[in-house]
Amino acid sequence: MAVAEVEGSEAGLAIVDGLALADFHYLHSTRGELLRRLGRTEEARDAYGRALALVHDDAERRLLERRLAELED
| pLDDT tens digits, 27-55 | 999 999 999 999 999 999 999 999 999 99
What secondary structure letter does DSSP report for 22? T
- Full residue range of the structural domain in which residue 49 is found: 2-72
- What global pTM score does this model have? 0.90
* Of 33, 70, 68, nearest in space to 13 by CA: 33
Residue 71 has pLDDT above 80, yes or no: yes
Q: Supply angle C-alpha 37, 69, 27, rounded to 5.
A: 50
| pLDDT tens digits, 14-31 | 999 999 999 999 999 999
Residue 1 has pLDDT above 90, yes or no: no
The CATH number for 19's domain is 1.25.40
Look at residue 73 in the predicted model and tell me its pLDDT: 72
Number of structural domains (the chain) is: 1
